[in-house]
């Protein structure tokens, strides 16, 4: 589940993104650990399956725990002004396309009446660095367990 950006893929920054991470990453990770320790695990219920230009995703409305965690990240992490976290949905990527689809209309037609209707338990944050967009390769920088329920 994507929760928030620290350094966004599509944003342009005044300095190199790796330099931003070197400068702030330790501080951000420490604060994310504190946030995770203060928040209990929770459930997310996915409702819809949709195709985007790069993936098929499952969508859910954010629950109170997701909104609260997003608020805590905005309030407590000193993120660059170019990073905008204004997400009003929760998504999980089901599959990614490595290249152009040969028949995108067929995929859209298949997904038209598809619903997710799946509930998952969230018990940790995974902080990752996207190496090849769109998340074809990523490096896990940390796994931060949420507090027990």
Reported as a single tens digit per residue, the pLDDT across 14-52 is 999 999 999 999 999 999 999 999 999 999 999 999 999
Per-residue model confidence (pLDDT) at position 57: 94
Tokens 């949420």 found at: 146
Buried b / exposed e across 127-146, counting CB within 10 Å, b at 16+? beebeeeeeeeeeebeebeb
Per-residue model confidence (pLDDT) at position 9: 81
Where exactly are the structural domains of the chain?
17-145
As its CATH architecture, domain 17-145 has: Alpha-Beta Complex (3.90)
- CB-CB neighbours of 102 under 10 Å: 7
95, 106 contact by CB (below 8 A): no
Is residue 73 predicted with pLDDT exceeding 80?
yes
Band the pLDDT of 79: cuts 50, 70, 90.
Answer: very high
pLDDT tens by residue, 95-137: 988 888 999 999 999 998 898 999 999 999 999 998 887 777 8
């Amino acid at each position: 589940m994507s929760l928030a950006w620290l350094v966004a893929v599509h944003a342009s920054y005044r300095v190199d993104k790796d330099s931003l991470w070197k400068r702030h990453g330790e501080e951000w990770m420490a604060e994310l650990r504190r946030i995770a320790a203060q928040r209990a695990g929770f459930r997310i219920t996915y409702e819809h399956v949709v195709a985007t230009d790069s993936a098929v995703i499952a969508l859910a409305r954010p629950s109170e725990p997701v909104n609260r965690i997003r608020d805590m990240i905005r309030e407590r992490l000193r993120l660059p002004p170019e990073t905008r976290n204004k997400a009003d949905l929760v998504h999980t990527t089901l599959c990614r396309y490595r290249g152009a689809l040969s028949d995108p209309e067929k995929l859209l037609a298949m997904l038209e009446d598809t619903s997710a209707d799946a509930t998952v338990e969230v018990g940790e944050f995974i902080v990752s660095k996207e190496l090849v967009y769109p998340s074809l390769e990523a490096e896990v920088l940390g796994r931060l367990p949420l507090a027990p329920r």
